Structure 1
Amino acid sequence: MISVICVYNNSESLKNYLLPVLNLQSCEHERILVDNTDGRFKSSAEALNYGARKAKGDYLMFIHQDVDLESSSFLEDIHKILDKLPHLGVAGVAGMSINGKNHLERQRNVIKHEVPPVNWGNPINSPEEVETVDECLFIIPREVFQKLEFDEETCPGWHLYGVDYCLTCREEGLKVYVVPLSVYHLSAHSGDETPLKTALKMGYHPEEYYHILPKVMKKHQNHFNKIYTTCGEWDTKTPLIIQRAFLTFNLGINFLKRKVKGGS
Structure 2
Amino acid sequence: MSRARPSLTFACVYNDEDTLRECLAASLARISDAPDMELITVDNRDHSFASAGAALNHAVRLSTKEVVVMAHQDAYVHSPDLIRETARHLWDGTFGLLGPVGVDSAGFVVGRMRDRTALIGRPSPEPTAVDSLDEVLMMARREVLLEHPITEDADLSWHAYGVELSARLRRSSIGTAACDMAVTHNSRNLNLARLEDAHARIAELNPDVLPLRTTCGTIGDAPAPRASMLRRARRLAGRKRRALLIRVRQARARQSRPPQVDLRETLQDLAWTDHPLAIINVDAVGRFDEQAGGTIRLTRDGRPVTFAAVGGVDEALRVIEAVPEDQSALVTNLSVEDLSAIRRAGRRHLLGGYAGEYWLLFGPIVDTVPPHWFR
Q: Per the shorter chain, which TM-score range? A: 0.7 to 0.9
Question: 1:171 — aligned with what?
Answer: 171
- For structure 1, list consecutive stretches of 5 or more residues without a partner in the other structure: 190-197, 199-204, 239-249
CA contact (8 A) 1:8 1:14 kept: yes
Question: 1:109 — aligned with what?
Answer: 111
Question: 2:19 — aligned with what?
Answer: 13
- TM-score w.r.t. the length of structure 1 is 0.77
2:168 is the alignment partner of 1:206? no
Deviations for 1:201-255, whole angstroms, at most 9, x for unmatched residues? xxxx63311222211111111x1231100111122667xxxxxxxxxxx9xxx8x
CA distance in 2, matches of 1:164, 1:32: 23
Secondary structure of residue in 2 paired with 1:39 = coil
CA distance in 2, matches of 1:64, 1:218: 26
User: Which range moved further: 147-156 or 38-47?
Assistant: 147-156
Secondary structure of residue in 2 paired with 1:40 = coil
* Paired letter, 1:63: A
Q: CA offset at residue 154 of structure 1?
A: 6.1
Secondary structure of residue in 1 paired with 2:28 = helix
* Paired letter, 2:75: V
2:79 is the alignment partner of 1:71? yes
Question: 2:217 — aligned with what?
Answer: 232
2:205 is the alignment partner of 1:216? no
Matches within 5 A, 1:69-218: 69-71=77-79, 73-83=81-91, 85-99=92-106, 103=107, 106-114=108-116, 117-153=117-153, 155-189=155-189, 206-218=192-204
**Cα distance change on mapping 1:177 and 1:156 into 2, 3 Å:** closer
* Paired letter, 2:216: C
**Larger % of strand: which?**
2
Larger relative CO (CA 8 A, sep 6+): 1 or 2?
1
Deviations for 1:167-193, whole angstroms, at most 9, x for unmatched residues? 00011111111112221010133xxxx
Aligned length: 225
CA distance in 2, matches of 1:40, 1:154: 14
Question: 1:192 — aligned with what?
Answer: none
Q: Give the percent of matched residue pairs that are identical in Structure 1 and Structure 2.
A: 23
Secondary structure of residue in 2 paired with 1:79 = helix
**Cα distance change on mapping 1:22 and 1:121 into 2, 3 Å:** same
Deviations for 1:145-167, whole angstroms, at most 9, x for unmatched residues? 12111221264420010000000
Question: 1:261 — aligned with what?
Answer: 257
CA contact (8 A) 1:8 1:36 kept: yes
Report which of the two structures shows the higher radius of gyration computed on alpha carbons: 2
CA distance in 2, matches of 1:63, 1:72: 12
- TM-score w.r.t. the length of structure 2 is 0.55
**Cα distance change on mapping 1:77 and 1:15 into 2, 3 Å:** same
- For structure 2, list consecutive stretches of 5 or more residues without a partner in the other structure: 1-6, 224-235, 246-255, 259-373
**Cα distance change on mapping 1:120 and 1:228 into 2, 3 Å:** same
CA distance in 2, matches of 1:72, 1:89: 19
User: Which range moved further: 9-18 or 141-150?
Assistant: 141-150
CA distance in 1, matches of 2:68, 2:161: 15
CA distance in 1, matches of 2:151, 2:124: 30
Structure 1 vs Structure 2 CA RMSD: 2.4
Deviations for 1:45-81, whole angstroms, at most 9, x for unmatched residues? 1111122121121111100011111125234323334
CA contact (8 A) 1:113 1:187 kept: yes
CA contact (8 A) 2:200 2:219 kept: no
**Cα distance change on mapping 1:108 and 1:20 into 2, 3 Å:** same
